[in-house]
Amino acid sequence: MIQGIGAAAGVAIGKAFVLPNWEWSLPDTQVNPVDLAKEFERLYEGIRTSKDEIEFIKKEFRDVVGPEESSIFDAHLAILDDPVFMSEIRGIIERQYKAAEVAVKEAIDHFVAMFDLLDDEYMKERAVDIKDVGNRLLKHLLGAPEVTLPSDTQPYILVAKELSPSQLAHLNPAYVLGIVTMMGGKTSHSSIMARALGIPLVAGLENKLPVPIQTGDMLVLDGDTGAIMIHPDEGTLKEFNTRRAIQLKKREQLELLATVEAVTKDGVCLRLACNISSVKELNVALKYGAEGVGLFRTEFLYMDRSSFPTEDEQFEVYKLVAEQVGKDSVVIRTLDIGGDKHLDYFQLPEEQNPFLGYRAIRISLDRTDMFKTQITAILRASHYGHVKLMFPMISSIEELLEAKALLNEVKSELDARGVPYDPDIQVGIMIEVPAAVMIADLLAEEVDFFSIGTNDLVQYVLAVDRMNEQIAHMYHPYHPGVLRMIRMTVEAAQRAGIDVSVCGEMASDERSLPLWLELGISVLSMSPQALLKVKHRTLNTLASEAREIAKVCLRSRTSSETEEQLNAFVKRSVTLGAGGDARGRTS
């Protein structure tokens, strides 16, 4: 047994498929100067073949997932046409008389090392693209066989050094039993996505394996504890097959709760909404009984394309979501790019610290043309359902008033055009930065609702970058400073008589339920996969008892004291089906 980090819960049993690291070790082969023309010919033939291959893959993906998702391969084609990258390769061949494959490898290493030095997650992702494209070119130059994922008829446990969110987005969760990564931890974007997809994941195994995992090795992974077993014996297989069967049975029983209201045993109602990035996610959430959309992350409409989406393109998506949700509300957050979210066609400045830089509402207020286009599309969609509009990363009254002024401009323009919209559309803000918490009473006078984005709030309150593995262990959602900030926000909203919800990772953590019950938060928005788990916990909770636990937590001096209380709350025995009433509660 090898101990890693349990990053996404669940048990997986199956054969491994190991993704290559794209790291080649080549001898420093030089060629006779008279043969340089031959090396250039080999290089250009490899480029042509690689382009043809990428175009074919792009078409295959487009047929399955549509044009927007498949456009990721346009970036790969652009690398093979990039004059700087190709000039580097040609220069090594021409000046150092090196073989084409050696020149390609050195160029890849040069650019990847250069990008990795930058404190910019987007550029690091571009380094992954260069490795991917360069590996494809090397494959043709070396005559190496194609590496493909197993057929969809053969479910597998995916093993990789690291996985980017874009890679995870293209996996079929129906055939990926589990994921093992050498790098990463609980707070990485890949781990968050794996939890949303319901795929068990164990991370952080770098330098812990006695021997490397090979494709075809039988694995057992436990995403709850972070343990993996290679070539388990019959007894271990039997034990984990039993655990997995229990988990699958529990999942089936949880799905019976989809149409049940989230009400505690003593009658306190919660509304469980969903966080979505696409219509596909909405369909899953509605299947699991989501009561509306608490956070529609619109930036994903802007990604994997070559230009900003038009007003009509956005309107059609927002309208479809509003109509599908029906009587429940849809909170649409305006564009939140910057930090770790970038657009290929919109050049952002290089920044020392992008998370404290040009991002979210700051970009929107700077690019009012783009901002007004999005607001227009959202307002038009509000005619077709219960739509609310939300601004991200507000830190001052000035920002909020400027955004509201633009909203009023758009309303006047729609009136002039004779286009219908909801003139009383509710306007809210994300509470994500400490400054917003400290002036929450002033902000509450200007909006209809608050939504607490705990992911960023925790990061900014604690000055901890959750993507930095060296300090990720300091990212504590239950830090007393974080809990006090949340309480201050809720109290300000309640004094002003406006609604307040929670839409970060803490909303989907069933341990947090006592806090929400004590603070009086009745709306939680979470990933579709977390809905039934939180609902089940709610049905099996006495609000009066949970509030007493929360009072202790809100007086705690350390994160560990709070976690001890909340972990004990979760470990209390609850049942599904047998022993419970028709709503799935314990007797």
Handedness of CA 34, 37, 43, 49 (dihedral sign): negative
Whether the CB-CB separation of 376 and 410 falls below 8 Å is answered with: yes
Whether the CB-CB separation of 331 and 388 falls below 8 Å is answered with: yes
Helices (H), 329-470: 361-366, 368-381, 397-417, 434-438, 440-444, 454-462
**CB-side neighbour CA atoms (13 Å) of 492:** 24
Query: Annotated catalytic residue: which of 76, 189, 386, 476?
Result: 189
Lookup result for tokens 């849809």: 330
Nearest 10 degrees: Cα torsion 101, 102, 108, 113:
160
Catalytic residue list contains 503: yes
CA distances 202 to 2, 154, 156, 160, Å, are 10, 21, 14, 11
In the structure encoding, which two tokens stand for residue 210, read together?
């006695």
Query: Annotated catalytic residue: which of 274, 342, 476, 503?
Result: 503
CA 367 to chain centre: 25
**Contact residues for 34 (Cβ-Cβ < 8 A; gap 6+):** none
**Which amino acid would we find at residue 488?**
M
In 3D, which of 438, 439, 378 has the Cα closest to residue 403?
A: 378
Catalytic residue list contains 231: no
**CA–CA gap between residue 498 and residue 479 (Å, rounded):** 26
CA 314 to chain centre: 21
Whether the CB-CB separation of 467 and 504 falls below 8 Å is answered with: no
**CA–CA gap between residue 425 and residue 430 (Å, rounded):** 16
Whether the CB-CB separation of 213 and 230 falls below 8 Å is answered with: yes
Catalytic site positions: 189, 503
